[in-house]
Amino acid sequence: MFLRKEKDVIQLADHFDYKRLLRYCFPSMTMVVFTSIYGVVDGLFVSNFVGKNAFAAINIVMPALMILGALGLMFGSGGTALVAKTLGEKKNDLANKYFSMMIEFLFACINGVAQERKK
């Protein structure tokens, strides 16, 4: 079984030097880079195989998709942190209410989009 050394574990309370800060932030930075590369590669394939109009449509829609992804990440991360903090305080009933509220908000958003598409 692989056991980590104590110095390899990164805690937020630790003092960060540049090496540890980069190790801590590397997964998030990698995700952003690959998301950007996705947009470029998608644009290349669409422009080569479909045409200029489709490429323009991709470039118009991509910022909206990025904004939706950012909002989803914001609500998901914040809600998860709130539920985890509440569970850590041993307030299980309140954590269940927070989690239920997050799920209800998700379904309300999906329902709002579905209702808008019916019009």
Residue 36 lies in a domain: yes
Whether the predicted model's global pTM rises above the 0.85 cut: no
**pLDDT of 83:** 92
Residue 1 lies in a domain: no
Residue 23 lies in a domain: yes
How many independent structural domains does the chain possess? 1
What is the separation of C-alpha 10 from the centre of its chain, rounded to a whole number of angstroms?
Answer: 21
- Reduced to 3 DSSP states, what percent helix, strand and coil does the chain have, rounded to the nearest 5? 85, 0, 15
**pLDDT of 13:** 63
Strands (E) located in 18-115: none
Residue 3 lies in a domain: no
Question: If pLDDT is split at 50, 70 and 90, which confidence band does 47 have?
Answer: confident
- How far is residue 9's CA from residue 18's CA, in Å, rounded to a whole number? 15
**pLDDT of 2:** 55
**pLDDT of 98:** 94
| Full residue range of the structural domain in which residue 95 is found | 10-118
Residue 5 lies in a domain: no
With 60 as the cut, is the pLDDT of residue 3 above it? no
**pLDDT of 93:** 94
**pLDDT of 89:** 92
Residue 52 lies in a domain: yes
Residue 4 lies in a domain: no
Nearby residues of 82 by Cβ (< 8 Å), 6 or more positions away: 98
Residue 2 lies in a domain: no
